[in-house]
């Protein structure tokens, strides 16, 4: 997989997050791994279908997820993952990935569509296997909130 495939997804993050109250998106590291990785806390899975397919996953620890949800809800305090907070997080994933498809179209990868996000929550370390040989994992610092992005597209 060409590592440049993450650029449209990163552009989408940088374009969408300021619209939902997070101004600064900084890439702190990038790594290429196999299809298997782990997460703990919150995971959003958004499937991509079209000329390239696979999934874009966003993971955060629970405290970070609460901060993101709070920013999206205009600073309202988030102490638990109620429907409102979960729906805010899911919407963030949806907006970023919808925008990523638009960014892909600018480099002539057209007609991509995404599925609604599914959210997984776990207090222990869980494993993920994506249907692609290689995954690109990116650590982001978004207004000092650590967010991890896993791109498995082919």
133 makes contact with another protein (CB under 8 A) = no
1 makes contact with another protein (CB under 8 A) = no
Near another protein by CB under 8 A: residue from 102, 134, 143, 146: 102
121 makes contact with another protein (CB under 8 A) = yes
Near another protein by CB under 8 A: residue from 27, 47, 143, 146: 47
Neighbouring C-beta atoms of residue 37, cutoff 10 Å: 18
User: Interacting stretch for another protein, rule CB under 8 A, among 4-12, 24-32, 111-119, 140-148?
Assistant: 111-119
Residue ranges that bind another protein, judged by CB under 8 A = 19-20, 38, 43, 45-50, 53-55, 57, 83, 86-87, 89-91, 94-95, 98, 101-102, 105, 110-122, 124-132, 152
């Amino acid at each position: 997989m060409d590592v440049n495939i993450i650029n449209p997804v990163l552009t989408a993050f940088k374009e969408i997050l300021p619209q939902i109250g997070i101004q600064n998106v900084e890439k702190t590291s990038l790594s290429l791994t196999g299809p298997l990785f782990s997460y703990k806390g919150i995971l959003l899975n958004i499937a991509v279908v079209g000329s390239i397919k696979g999934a874009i996953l966003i993971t955060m620890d629970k405290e970070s997820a609460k901060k993101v949800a709070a920013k999206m809800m205009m600073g309202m305090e988030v102490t638990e993952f109620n429907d409102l907070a979960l729906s805010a997080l899911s919407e963030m994933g949806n907006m970023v990935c919808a925008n990523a498809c638009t960014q892909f179209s600018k480099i002539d990868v057209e007609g991509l569509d995404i599925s609604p996000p599914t959210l997984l929550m776990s207090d222990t370390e869980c494993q993920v296997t994506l249907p692609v040989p290689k995954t690109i994992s990116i650590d982001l610092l978004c207004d000092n909130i650590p967010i991890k992005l896993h791109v498995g597209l082919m």
